[in-house]
Chain A
Amino acid sequence: EAGVAQSPRYKIIEKRQSVAFWCNPISGHATLYWYQQILGQGPKLLIQFQNNGVVDDSQLPKDRFSAERLKGVDSTLKIQPAKLEDSAVYLCASSLDGGSQETQYFGPGTRLLVL
Chain B
Amino acid sequence: AQSVTQLDSQVPVFEEAPVELRCNYSSSVSVYLFWYVQYPNQGLQLLLKYLSGSTLVESINGFEAEFNKSQTSFHLRKPSVHISDTAEYFCAVSGSNDYKLSFGAGTTVTVRA
Contact = CB atoms under 8 A, between A and B. Distances in A.
User: Which 6 A-B residue pairs are closest in the complex by CB-CB distance?
Assistant: A42-B103, A106-B43, A100-B94, A106-B44, A108-B43, A100-B99
Given A48-B99, A100-B95, A101-B51, A41 B105 contact: yes
Contacts of A99: 99
Given A40-B105, A42-B4, A42-B90, A101 B43 contact: no
Chain B interface category by residue count: 20 to 34
A100 B96 contact: yes
B46 A56 contact: no
Interface of A: 3-4, 40-45, 48, 55-56, 91, 93, 98-101, 103-109
Contacts of A106: 36, 43-45
Contacts of A40: 9, 105-106
Interface of B is mostly: strand
A100 B103 contact: no
A43 B41 CA distance: 16
A90 B95 CA distance: 24
A108 B43 CA distance: 4
Contacts of A41: 105-106
Contacts of A100: 32, 94-101
B49 interface: yes
Interface in B33-81: 34, 36, 41-46, 49, 51
Given A4-B43, A103-B46, A98 B99 contact: yes
B67 to A, nearest CB: 14
Given A43-B103, A45-B101, A91 B32 contact: no
Given A42-B105, A100-B95, A101-B51, A109 B43 contact: yes
B59 to A, nearest CB: 13
Contacts of A4: 43
Contacts of B96: 100
Contacts of B4: 42
